[in-house]
Chain A
Amino acid sequence: MDLNYTPQEQAFRDEVRAFVRSRLPQEISRKVLEHKRLEKEDHVRWQKILYEQGWIAPGWPVEYGGTGWNPVQRHILEEECAEAGAPPVMAFGVYMVGPVIIAFGNAWQKQQYLPRILSSDDWWCQGYSEPGAGSDLASLKTRAERQGDHYIVNGQKTWTTLAQYADMIFCLVRTSNTGKKQEGISFLLIDMRTPGITVRPIITLEGGHEVNEVWFENVKVPVQNLVGEEGRGWTCAKFLLSHERTGIAGVARSKRELRLLKYIASQEKKNGRPLLQDSRFRDKVARVEIDLMALEITNLRVLAADREGRPPGPEASILKIKGTEIQQALTELMMDAVGSYALPHLPAAWSNHWLGERVGPEYAAPLAARYFNYRKVSIYGGSNEIQRNIISQMILGL
């Protein structure tokens, strides 16, 4: 029993840290650390740096551009990136559609898409949820009808994250209405520039534009863009659920945010003393810190098992539930820490390029928006209630 990293892992961490520290552009890390708005270019710029180093998709098989690292090494890269304030690698290409194409795609798809995922030349988005298909994803209705060498797609996707930037979308579509509802679903790769696609923004409660509706009206998709067999798309979707989910806990990011919370609470005053010394506030911070310690060890247990060839399945749902609860608690405490100065609503101040007059401390400006925005984390990626259903069925056998 040993909770420490091995000397080799430690040396590896040093190497990774040196790379991240020297190559991560400061104007990007500042935005991340200060909760400022990240632009598409920021993400792409950092991802290209990782790509040039050969580290953009460590979990992929080596022959497709992976690094051959074990799960602990991959975790170390994620930790070091989060610690330094790197933007998280956008999951849709590298972590989601890439592995599906590798596992189920044909030779043409691999050749066409995988290199452009690695180089971040294509920005991918995910077409899963629909207005009538959220947690009950299999009841989706977007139709794809075969006409010669094409599918004709009609319907609507929603909650499509950053579709406004996307070159490509991977979609679950209905190709059959007979049999079990899961069996009539297919997995299609669709070029966002195809005529008939309309992207409409959904503005979330804090005023941000992250998610969209994507409408399909007689969109022609070549049959060669079907991944796997027609009617087997649900298998691809389920495959994603068991793939590379140890990063889901977000431990390193939360540790970074905890540090910021303590800093803010040490600057804010209550009764003339730092808020961090106020027993009521301090206790809340300490309880989150202890919860995060427990999550970190649990995450390491899952990782160590993964390294020994036991990849996490439903255990990842535990990490998702606790990880998101902690993330939400941290955003809430940070907002509470600044008191009234959470109130000013100046979206322009969330940009690093803004030169206007600030109201209150600089760190206060984005905190309420972040708290509002982070209500999403217990909803997306399978709501925490759906995660509980998964644990209940797959681990507990209920």
Chain B
Amino acid sequence: MDFNYTEEQLLLKDSVEKFLTKNYSFEQRREIIEAREGYSPLAWEGFASLGLLGVPIPEEFGGFGGHGVDTMIVMEALGRALVVEPYLSTVVLAGSAITLGGSDAQRKILLPRIVEGSMKFAFGHTEPGTRFELNRVETSARQEGGMWVINGQKSVVLHGAAADLLVVSARTSGAPDSRQGITLFFVNPAEQGVAGRDYPTYDGMRAAEVSFDNVSINPESVIGVVDHGFALLEAVVDRGIAALCAEAVGCMGALHAATLEYLKTREQFGVPIGKFQALQHRMVDMLIQYEQAKSMALLAAVNVDSPDATQRRRSVSAAKEFVGRAGRFVGQQAIQLHGGMGVTDELSVGHYFKRLTALDTTFGDSDQHLDRFLEQENAAVEAPVLKPAKQWKQLV
């Protein structure tokens, strides 16, 4: 049992935090969001030169060869600075899909480009009419003349317009909700038949509705094994969820600090409002939720690469369920404790609140992960030592 970061991890934490403090202030972020691209190419270059884009990528492809905890360190810092760049979709999701499922050629070509910052990815899975069921995929891919032809639509694809390459789930066989028959593909958004509608999301990010109309792609675009993409999809998304939990912890930490500061400086009735017990207890409850969320993000980060898939699913879904609840609570309390200022666009509080709200929905909300957590129960309800019923009777 050891809750300390290694020297290397401390260095990583320090460098990402320093970089963001210097180059990613709340005002700078505001400008980035308003810019046409919806992200900052300059910041992306900065991430690349710091080595952040290679954190979970194996060393042989130029990465840092990190694990869940390393990603957690980066994501927590990104959360604290409300970073809007496509780190999650490029490094965590596409990076994991390629690392875990890609062919040698795909890994050799694509992973170094992620690390150096020359390629950005988006991850298209959710479809209209679904929530975040991993197994429900209606976008189809059929073989035709040695090519794959894709038809369908993906909804709210984060950073869809910024991506150089899309990772898309499609049905290659089976019923719409079968786990069997799902395959992951790379799709070039410039390909004929791919159409997208780019729009801002309420938390300062960009997303797109992407449709595929007889999009023809070559067989080298398959990631992993045809029809057997579900396990890969699940492992990739689990990494994404663990990362999101860490990002949420970063947001909660920032909200906790900002709110505490506000309670100590804002005066009413001639005293700092932090002197009032009703507010103190809310603040304590925020701290408790934040600390517990940290514990759960840690559990997810440590177990996300566990060879025991049940343990991995259980930890990740429990964390997502908890962090979703905790994030809503901390966000709502932070706004309430800031009073009128909390509902302004000017303060960062509302922006953290919005990001936390979005995080709960992304990759399945608390309710959905409660379901998944329960699916992991192997119905092993053992009987504790209880005596057999008595054979004889006696009046009380």
Chain A positions near chain B (C-beta within 8 angstroms): 1-6, 9, 26, 29-30, 33-34, 72, 85, 259-260, 262-263, 266, 276, 282-283, 286-287, 289-291, 293-295, 297-298, 300-301, 303-305, 318, 321-322, 346, 348, 355-358, 362-363, 385, 388-389, 391-392, 395-398
Other than the given A283-B374, A357-B394, A391-B284, 13 more pairs (CB < 8 A) read: A263-B383, A282-B374, A286-B373, A294-B299, A294-B322, A297-B296, A298-B291, A301-B295, A322-B288, A356-B396, A388-B285, A392-B283, A396-B283
* Chain B residue nearest to A299 in the complex (CB): B295
Cα-based distance from A383 to B248 in the complex (angstroms): 31
- Is A1 a contact partner of B5 (Cβ separation < 8 A)? yes
Known: A259-B382, A262-B381, A318-B288. A297 touches B299 (CB 8 A): yes
Interface flags for B281-324 (1: CB within 8 Å of A; 0: not) read 10111011001111110110110000000000000001001100
- Is A283 a contact partner of B370 (Cβ separation < 8 A)? yes
- Is B385 a contact partner of A30 (Cβ separation < 8 A)? yes
Dominant secondary structure at the A interface: helix
- Is B292 a contact partner of A298 (Cβ separation < 8 A)? yes
Cα-based distance from A395 to B286 in the complex (angstroms): 13
Cα-based distance from A2 to B4 in the complex (angstroms): 9
Known: A293-B299, A297-B295. A276 touches B370 (CB 8 A): no
Cα-based distance from A86 to B211 in the complex (angstroms): 62
18 pairs from A and B in contact (CB 8 Å cutoff): A1-B5, A1-B301, A3-B299, A3-B302, A33-B385, A34-B387, A266-B381, A291-B292, A294-B295, A294-B296, A304-B1, A322-B292, A348-B396, A357-B396, A362-B389, A392-B280, A396-B274, A396-B283
- Is A5 a contact partner of B284 (Cβ separation < 8 A)? no
A263 to chain B, nearest CB (A): 5
Cα-based distance from A10 to B71 in the complex (angstroms): 29
Cα-based distance from A293 to B316 in the complex (angstroms): 12
The answer to whether the Cβ of B157 comes within 8 Å of any Cβ in the partner chain is no
Q: List residues of chain B with CB within 8 A of the CB of A355.
A: 390, 392, 394
Number of B residues, CB within 8 Å of A: 50
Q: Which residue from A4, A30, A286 sits with its C-beta under 8 Å from B387?
A: A30
**Interfacial residues of chain B within 84-130, with CB under 8 A of chain A in the complex:** none
Cα-based distance from A34 to B389 in the complex (angstroms): 13
Q: Which of A260, A294, A322 has the most CB of B within 10 A?
A: A294
* Chain B residue nearest to A303 in the complex (CB): B1
- Is B322 a contact partner of A290 (Cβ separation < 8 A)? yes
Dominant secondary structure at the B interface: helix
The 9 residue pairs across chains A and B that have the minimum distance between CB atoms: A297-B295, A392-B280, A294-B292, A398-B274, A266-B381, A388-B284, A357-B393, A2-B2, A298-B295
* Chain A residue nearest to B318 in the complex (CB): A290
Known: A30-B385, A297-B296, A396-B287. A290 touches B321 (CB 8 A): yes
The answer to whether the Cβ of B33 comes within 8 Å of any Cβ in the partner chain is no
Cα-based distance from A258 to B27 in the complex (angstroms): 48
Cα-based distance from A33 to B292 in the complex (angstroms): 28
Cα-based distance from A6 to B2 in the complex (angstroms): 9
Q: Which of A9, A282, A297, A395 has the most CB of B within 10 A?
A: A297
Q: Which residue from B3, B260, B389 sits with its C-beta under 8 Å from A396?
A: B260
- Is A346 a contact partner of B396 (Cβ separation < 8 A)? yes
Interface flags for B13-30 (1: CB within 8 Å of A; 0: not) read 000000000000000000
- Is B287 a contact partner of A318 (Cβ separation < 8 A)? yes
The answer to whether the Cβ of B277 comes within 8 Å of any Cβ in the partner chain is yes
Q: List residues of chain A with CB within 8 A of the CB of B301.
A: 1
The answer to whether the Cβ of B190 comes within 8 Å of any Cβ in the partner chain is no
- Is A391 a contact partner of B287 (Cβ separation < 8 A)? yes
The answer to whether the Cβ of B384 comes within 8 Å of any Cβ in the partner chain is yes
Cα-based distance from A9 to B322 in the complex (angstroms): 29
Known: A30-B385, A34-B387, A392-B283. A301 touches B318 (CB 8 A): no
Cα-based distance from A363 to B277 in the complex (angstroms): 42
Cα-based distance from A331 to B1 in the complex (angstroms): 31
The answer to whether the Cβ of B275 comes within 8 Å of any Cβ in the partner chain is yes
Known: A1-B69, A3-B1. A290 touches B382 (CB 8 A): no
Cα-based distance from A85 to B395 in the complex (angstroms): 30
B291 to chain A, nearest CB (A): 6
- Is B370 a contact partner of A287 (Cβ separation < 8 A)? yes
The answer to whether the Cβ of B386 comes within 8 Å of any Cβ in the partner chain is yes
The answer to whether the Cβ of B264 comes within 8 Å of any Cβ in the partner chain is yes
Q: List residues of chain B with CB within 8 A of the CB of A72.
A: 1
Q: List residues of chain A with CB within 8 A of the CB of B392.
A: 355
- Is A6 a contact partner of B1 (Cβ separation < 8 A)? yes
Q: Which residue from B1, B292, B387 sits with its C-beta under 8 Å from A9?
A: B1
Cα-based distance from A363 to B386 in the complex (angstroms): 8
The answer to whether the Cβ of B263 comes within 8 Å of any Cβ in the partner chain is yes
Interface flags for B252-284 (1: CB within 8 Å of A; 0: not) read 000000001001100000000011010011011
Known: A2-B2, A388-B284. A263 touches B384 (CB 8 A): yes
Cα-based distance from A222 to B156 in the complex (angstroms): 78
**Interfacial residues of chain B within 321-379, with CB under 8 A of chain A in the complex:** 321-322, 370, 373-374
Q: List residues of chain B with CB within 8 A of the CB of A321.
A: 288
- Is A301 a contact partner of B3 (Cβ separation < 8 A)? yes
Known: A362-B387, A398-B280. A297 touches B394 (CB 8 A): no
Q: Which residue from B2, B292, B294, B374 sits with its C-beta under 8 Å from A286?
A: B374
- Is A260 a contact partner of B384 (Cβ separation < 8 A)? yes
A269 to chain B, nearest CB (A): 14
- Is B3 a contact partner of A304 (Cβ separation < 8 A)? yes
Q: List residues of chain A with CB within 8 A of the CB of B370.
A: 283, 286-287, 290
Cα-based distance from A287 to B321 in the complex (angstroms): 8
- Is B296 a contact partner of A389 (Cβ separation < 8 A)? no
Q: List residues of chain A with CB within 8 A of the CB of B302.
A: 1-3
- Is A395 a contact partner of B382 (Cβ separation < 8 A)? no
Q: Which residue from A290, A363, A396, A397 sits with its C-beta under 8 Å from B373?
A: A290
* Chain B residue nearest to A266 in the complex (CB): B381
Cα-based distance from A1 to B383 in the complex (angstroms): 35
Q: Which residue from B1, B260, B393 sits with its C-beta under 8 Å from A2?
A: B1
Q: List residues of chain A with CB within 8 A of the CB of B281.
A: 385, 388, 392
Q: List residues of chain A with CB within 8 A of the CB of B280.
A: 388-389, 392, 396, 398
Cα-based distance from A3 to B302 in the complex (angstroms): 8
Q: List residues of chain A with CB within 8 A of the CB of B294.
A: 298
Known: A322-B292, A392-B280, A395-B287. A293 touches B318 (CB 8 A): yes
* Chain B residue nearest to A260 in the complex (CB): B384
Q: Which residue from B283, B293, B373, B385 sits with its C-beta under 8 Å from A398?
A: B283
Q: List residues of chain B with CB within 8 A of the CB of A356.
A: 393-396
Cα-based distance from A356 to B393 in the complex (angstroms): 6
Cα-based distance from A6 to B293 in the complex (angstroms): 25
* Chain B residue nearest to A5 in the complex (CB): B1
A119 to chain B, nearest CB (A): 29
Q: Which of A260, A305, A348 has the most CB of B within 10 A?
A: A260
* Chain B residue nearest to A294 in the complex (CB): B292
Cα-based distance from A356 to B396 in the complex (angstroms): 6
Q: Which of A85, A301, A363 has the most CB of B within 10 A?
A: A301
Q: List residues of chain B with CB within 8 A of the CB of A293.
A: 296, 299, 318, 322
